[in-house]
Amino acid sequence: MREFEFVLTYREGADELMDVFVERTGLRAQTAACFANDRSMWRVDHVLGPPEALDAVEEHFLDETTCNECLDVAGCDSSREYQVVSSDPEHRVYFTRREEIQHCHSIPYLAVDHVGDGLLIEAERRDDEYVWRLLIPDDCAVGELYDRIDAQLREGISLELGHVSDPQNWNGGFGTAGLLTPEERETVASAVEAGYYGTPRDATVADLAELLDTPHSTVQYRLQRAEEKIVERFASETL
């Protein structure tokens, strides 16, 4: 099996739901599970961010008159059902079921139609990118699948192949998806990117405070709280 990553980039105005992610920092959606066959798709999505941003996402995400997956048109003839599985101030979980997906084009439909049943799919929305990861057989002609996806894109959406590799960290991070506050996630992400957790360290808390334009003590507290939550979850699930 190989992992293929496809990255869709959305220009502002190309998709109302993606516009919410473009306009609001600290907002992201991760797909914990996505399965499809030649007629149906069902999935579970975790959406994390500030309450106001989550309310804006929900306004579009739960609109059953709109398809959240179509690449070629803003709406399609497939039937859709959206349900709220859980709702917290900074973390929502949604279930989606779509029938007759052959009537509109989406990456799950095109992938299943090209590869057949049995592939695994993950996805993440953040900023202007919608990143899809597919776990599919080694002998799949991924170039042909790329061309099929690219041929269906409506104006304002572009596609690139992120990477092709051995499977890496599948379903990683969902055990801690709702643990951290948006501020803690932003601080940890900046720390990782800056090399704070490298050996040797390439950044200090003072560097992160300057980068984030946040007081040193606040950055230190957020890192400590995030690390405590992550370690406690790891210990409870694995030790």
What would the pLDDT profile of 153-207 be if each residue is shown by its tens digit?
Answer: 889 999 998 777 676 666 655 555 567 787 888 898 899 999 998 888 899 999 9
* Cα–Cα separations (whole angstroms), residue 154 to 75, 83, 130: 12, 27, 15
Average of per-residue pLDDT across 72-84: 74
Question: Which residues on neighbouring strands pair with residue 135, listed in sequence order?
Answer: 3, 120
User: Tokens for 67?
Assistant: 């398809």
Q: Virtual CA dihedral for 190, 52, 82, 149, nearest 10 degrees?
A: -50
Q: Name the CATH code of domain 179-238 (choices 3.40.50, 1.10.287, 1.10.3470, 1.10.10).
A: 1.10.10
pLDDT score for 178? 63
pLDDT band at 94 (very low <50, low <70, confident <90, very high): very high
User: For 209, left (φ over 0), alpha (ψ -120 to 50), or beta?
Assistant: alpha
- Parts of the chain belonging to CATH 1.10.10: 179-238
Q: What is the spatial distance between Cα 131 and Cα 3, in angstroms, rounded to a whole number?
A: 13
Of the chain, the percentage scoring pLDDT greater than 90 comes to 30
Residue predicted with more confidence, 232 or 207: 207
pLDDT score for 213? 94
pLDDT score for 103? 65
Q: What's the pTM?
A: 0.73
pLDDT score for 53? 92
pLDDT score for 108? 83
pLDDT in tens, 21-60: 999 888 889 888 888 777 788 889 999 888 999 999 999 9
